[in-house]
A and B are shown apart, each in its own frame.
Chain A
Amino acid sequence: AQSVTQLDSQVPVFEEAPVELRCNYSSSVSVYLFWYVQYPNQGLQLLLKYLSGSTLVKGINGFEAEFNKSQTSFHLRKPSVHISDTAEYFCAVSVMDSNYQLIWGAGTKLIIKP
């Protein structure tokens, strides 16, 4: 069965510092990979996705993620965070075996310190 692990439930970081949010997955078949962001009291918004091709994908708001097949990881990065990036970030995968349904990580709360 497929699973998604987000290793950190909370990540505190100072404003303008770089950040990495970690995501690992397990699957025996090819996957699509996604990062979503959820601001307080809102729905989820797609940040970026990996389907195929270049392993480095760029998304909205200056975020990027790198797909590493050997390590089954899809870590999210931003070189310089802002207060407005305070939110919860969810990693998700979809696989053909699950009829393309999304399997979610538990989420990582990004806390920006001024």
Chain B
Amino acid sequence: DTGVSQDPRHKITKRGQNVTFRCDPISEHNRLYWYRQTLGQGPEFLTYFQNEAQLEKSRLLSDRFSAERPKGSFSTLEIQRTEQGDSAMYLCASSSQTGAAGYTFGSGTRLTVV
């Protein structure tokens, strides 16, 4: 297992366009998390899945954001009608159900909205 993979590493898009990011977690992990991180800040929780079920979504997450994990394996995060304020690093992590071993993070997708 090569860890958590995120694709793409970088994405530049024009304001108003839709973007989709992919995350492939560690195969034995049934939990998958999405975070957003802006410069100089800690990770901000967006949403998480246990298997294919989306169990929690941040109240800060607008309706333009949607995430899926259709078969309980990889996940996608879509942002519709992107805004400049969406520019950030989007981090994916996976863990076991108790998280006792900690989360394993991917390298992130850096989104720049111009």
- Seen from chain B, the residues whose Cβ lies within 8 Å of a Cβ on chain A are 4, 6, 33, 41-43, 45, 48, 55-56, 91, 93, 95, 97-108, 110
Contact = CB atoms under 8 A, between A and B. Distances in A.
A90 interface: yes
Contacts of B107: 42-43
Nearest to A52: B100
A36 B6 CA distance: 19
Contacts of B45: 101
A90 B42 CA distance: 7
Nearest to A106: B42
Given A90-B43, A105-B42, A44 B105 contact: yes
B91 A102 contact: no
A46 B95 CA distance: 12
Given A42-B108, A44-B91, A100-B98, A107 B42 contact: yes
Interface string A16-49: 0000000000000000101010000111111001
A8 to B, nearest CB: 14
User: How extensive is the interface on chain A, given as a class?
Assistant: 20 to 34
Contact of B100 (A43, A51, A90, A106): A51
Contact of B105 (A43, A51, A101): A43
Contacts of A99: 55-56
B97 to A, nearest CB: 7
A107 B41 contact: yes
B103 A46 contact: yes
A94 interface: yes
Nearest to A32: B100
A101 B42 contact: no
Given A44-B91, A106-B41, A107-B42, A100 B99 contact: yes
Nearest to A96: B98
A74 interface: no
B59 to A, nearest CB: 14
A32 B102 CA distance: 9
Given A43-B107, A49-B102, 18 more contacts: A36-B102, A36-B105, A43-B4, A43-B6, A43-B91, A44-B93, A44-B103, A44-B105, A46-B103, A90-B42, A100-B95, A100-B97, A101-B33, A101-B56, A102-B99, A104-B42, A106-B41, A106-B42
